[in-house]
Structure 1
């Protein structure tokens, strides 16, 4: 199985992550710090944060199904020369939550360019099987019940916005019972052009709110809604909305952002963020071979 790591030079990932971590630490030290407790011991791990982040990102493109197998069978035996200060698997798991903020900030540096053609969708992130929802305790207070075309699920909902090149533009994590239309204004605050979504985003107030700041929301009509006149090119692009569903499928099956083995909310966030970063390093992303300035002028059509 060809993986993201095999197609990407791991040294390049580490160099980019390390450069960002150095800048992030300098800016962080310039901010007012919380007062420390008298006698508090301030210690640093022998592994640098950039090393931890690089290994976590590499896991999501390695093809391994569990991080323990990846770390014990790939990292410890084979990467000792690249990372001479490796720690045990148990200690590494303890270090992972400390890189949540840095990893989240780094993900924002990996977002794509605004092309004027945007696609939005949400995908469920289950934290356990529905039969074990009542006994689940790790994410109590953070998750909820949600329902889509497949059925009921218990967990979170990941909202994504991409461009026509398959690049991530924005993301947001909510409970599964949150309406898809609620996070749209925050997700699209910097976008312009056209936004293509499914029927779950139909809302006249939302359309007017986005249109007032230069973003046109385009969705399919429901059965009982009247047909409307839209340009043919918009109808064609609306049919290409499946590209974001392909990305959701890759995030779950290749980058493994969803599994039910989490024992900590912070490790869950690290797993999710690292999976999104690993996707941005993927050379061939699901995309449309178009450019907004090269689209032909087509007449409107009934839709």
Structure 2
């Protein structure tokens, strides 16, 4: 787990550069209002919010009251009450979104895409939910119906074949780094956000059967991306290169990432009382994931590792 001092220094460096630029783009108010000065700085609030997703606590109130207020008085001498801190959380949404963009991984030419459900309440209470009225919707996943949102993710393989394995560890360079993400209502088809998610990608993109679409494949191919999915039973089978067969078998890497985001980083729970805090919770959880020292690995053996190409350029990406 990352040290809170290290996390604070990185976020604070970003906020120092972010705040002047952000404030210069704000529209002036016609009526001058008194601006209350916060006891906690923007970077302190952001650090505490992100660190929750590394702490192992399942409930933010317990984390703040039982952990932060008791153990971080030296690190944050101007800590406020829990109720006041909850009021400050929405103020860090924009800086956290921009900071997350600085934490994205490197495009290597091999990427994985998947979506995971984010229910915001039990199905029995869906009709009574007022917080996300007009935003959340019904969706269906492999585990059944849910009411809420979907998180769409693309990660890389982070397999640098130009570097030798460290001490015989073939997974030393194979970690799923975040490349892009999008949150949609639960009823949105998984194929809809793909075109936006792949704007900065090239090479090969691996997904499950839910992404099968000839028009989508053609549009991505024109952008220099080869979209590879498993075949359905009634589809005409085609010969795949060995690298594609290996990567389709290893596609569970992104499912492991989704599992960690939901069960370790706590990006999904049913206690939200604010749309802004819901978004902060997701962004902070993704940031916490990018700070993990050890991320899910492809677990390639020696023979599989030899099939991996070195890092590709966009012009070479469709040739292997």
1:60-105 per-residue CA deviation (whole Å, 9 max, x = no partner) reads 1101110110101111111011001110000000000111111111
SS in 1 for 2:152: strand
- The aligned counterpart of 1:114 is 107
Conserved? CA contact 1:115–1:292, under 8 Å: no
Give the Cα separation in 1 of the matches to 2:179 and 2:30. Answer: 41
SS in 2 for 1:120: strand
2:104 aligned with 1:94, yes or no?
A: no
- The aligned counterpart of 2:230 is 220
Q: Report 1:184-263 matches (<5 A).
A: 184-263=194-273
2:293 aligned with 1:279, yes or no?
A: no
Q: Report 1:1-303 matches (<5 A).
A: 7-31=1-25, 33-164=26-157, 165-288=175-298, 290=305, 291-293=308-310
Give the Cα separation in 2 of the matches to 1:292 and 1:47. Answer: 48
Give the Cα separation in 2 of the matches to 1:20 and 1:106. Answer: 7
1:240-299 per-residue CA deviation (whole Å, 9 max, x = no partner) reads 00000000000000000000000000010111110000011111101225553189xxxx
Give the Cα separation in 2 of the matches to 1:133 and 1:292. Answer: 48
Runs of at least 5 residues in structure 1 that lack an aligned partner in the other structure: 1-6, 296-303
Aligned residues: 288
Tell me the TM-score normalised to structure 2 length.
Answer: 0.88
Conserved? CA contact 2:138–2:145, under 8 Å: yes
Give the Cα separation in 2 of the matches to 1:38 and 1:225. Answer: 64
Change (3 A) 1:265 1:206: same
Give the Cα separation in 2 of the matches to 1:214 and 1:271. Answer: 34
Conserved? CA contact 1:116–1:292, under 8 Å: no
